[in-house]
Amino acid sequence: MNKQKISIVTGGGSGIGLAVCKALAADGHKVIVVDLSASASEEVAQEILSEGGDAHAIALDVSDHKQVKHAFEQVAQQYGSIDVLVNNAGIGSIGTLEETTESELDKVYQVNVKGVYNCAFATISQMKKQQSGVIVNMASIASSVGIPDRFAYSMSKGAVLTMTYSIAKDYVEEGIRCNCVAPARVHTPFVDNYLEKNYPENKQEMFQKLSKTQPIGRMAKPVEIAQLVKYLCSDDASFITGSNFPIDGGFVTINN
């Protein structure tokens, strides 16, 4: 009988992270739901448990190196392994170079870049000890092509892409695989909150406009991203490492 995989998903309390947690749980993983919000992580874990899956919630700030290291050491100690890490936690940022303040740049870096570093750093020694493990990082189409008004966000996701390549290169002989997923627009609570804040009078019109920037004519659903992540975390993907997977409705190829 195969051992149950212990899988950490950051930003697991909503959106893509929530969908990834549920997809991995449905595939038999014990999912460690990590989120800045204790109530959000607990709610997702309870939902998974109620559906017959296995989950545990941890409230965690991924930008805090010591906090992450301590929490992940506890996971490894309690469950005996860390088999999968999905670095999904991230924040958005809108603005050109001139519109991006130093504090905004630092904030995006702390979560989107340092957060990925912190979680991978806290995981890699355990995976080396096991001589096995999978890391999937959430990049973006902004890692590969220019997106208007996304200076800080693009900076951070470009770093995620190259960190992925570096980890894959350095640890391939340790049995560790590392890949990233690069979505275009995904219909998450972030999109709804953005429209509510900036376009309260014409939310539906703007939603349609944003949807049509994808050549396929709509935004992705979180579950569609989650299914790709689930595959990359599975043994079926055991020959895949050091790769970037656009999941973008044709955005990169057709629009550029």
Angle formed by the axes of helices 15-26 and 38-50, nearest 10°: 30
- Rounded to a whole number of angstroms, the distance between the first and last alpha carbons of the chain is 47
**Structure tokens belonging to residue 113:** 């870049």
| pLDDT tens column, 210-233 | 898 889 999 999 999 999 999 999
| pLDDT tens column, 156-191 | 999 999 999 999 999 999 999 999 999 999 998 888
| Whether residue 1 has pLDDT greater than 80 | no
Closest of 161, 163, 155 to residue 100, by C-alpha: 155
pLDDT at 193: 85
Buried b (16+ CB within 10 A) or exposed e, 174-187: eebbbbbbbbbbbb
| Whether residue 119 has pLDDT greater than 90 | yes
Domain extents in the chain: 6-185+221-250
pLDDT at 66: 98
| pLDDT tens column, 59-71 | 999 999 999 999 9
- Quote the CA–CA distance of 33 and 123 in Å, as a whole number: 15
Residue 139: is it exposed, middle or buried by C-beta count within 10 angstroms (0-12/13-18/19+)? buried
Active site residues: 153
Q: pTM of the full predicted structure?
A: 0.95
- How is domain 6-185+221-250 classified at the CATH fold level? Rossmann fold (3.40.50)
| pLDDT tens column, 16-36 | 999 999 999 999 999 999 999
pLDDT at 29: 98
Element holding 87 (H helix, E strand)? strand 84-87
Contact between 145 and 252 (Cβ < 8 Å): yes
With cut-offs at 50, 70 and 90, classify the pLDDT of residue 81: very high
